[in-house]
Amino acid sequence: MKNLFLAAFAVFAFASVNAQDESTGGQTSEGTWLIEANTGNAMLGTTGIYFTSSDGNSQFNLGLDGGYFIMDDLAIKAGLGYNSFSPDEGDGVSSFSYRLGAKYYVNSMIPVTLDLTGASGDGAENGLGETPLWLGIGAGYAWFIGDMVAIEPGLRYNHSLNEDFTDEGVFQVNIGFTLFF
């Protein structure tokens, strides 16, 4: 937990040192839509993007999140993802992931998220037939590289809500790519 607070402090320190001018507020204004793709983590159901391959086993995930700003700096979001695992021997498995939540941009440049992430399908279950359900909180920094695009590195902690699946939380370092329109 101490490391989580230190990491969050580092993100906020980076954001305050590299503050942007106020002209970037238009991207996060009421009525704006967003679409984002994030790097993912193979440990949980995710709407992110990743690929891993080792010893003939490969796994990939494709997913996107979308949202709508219901007021300045506050977006309601939903996301979907597809995961496939292909072992060297045997049949592959797949699953679908979903995410529902909110994203708030502090000072129109520091995204803070709170969401619920889950997965279903034969590839989502553990050996006991249980599926994951996570409550996630994250923070980062929105680096606006144009009127419609931001790169958002961030930190995220996912707390398991299904102790029959796992009782451990998952810490992530993500990089998000967001389009605003």
- What structural domains does the chain harbor? 2-16+27-180 (2.40.160.20)
Encoding tokens for residue 25?
A: 């507020």
pTM of the prediction? 0.78
Model pLDDT, residue 33: 97
In terms of Cα–Cα distance, which of 46, 128, 122, 49 is closest to 90?
122
Task: Please write the tens of the pLDDT for every residue from 17-68.
Answer: 444 444 445 899 999 999 999 887 655 557 888 888 888 888 888 999 999 9
Amino acid at 32: T
- Whether residue 112 is predicted with pLDDT greater than 90 in this model: the reply is yes
- Whether residue 146 is predicted with pLDDT greater than 80 in this model: the reply is yes
Cα–Cα distance, 162 to 123 (Å, whole number): 16
Model pLDDT, residue 42: 54
Encoding tokens for residue 114?
A: 């709170």
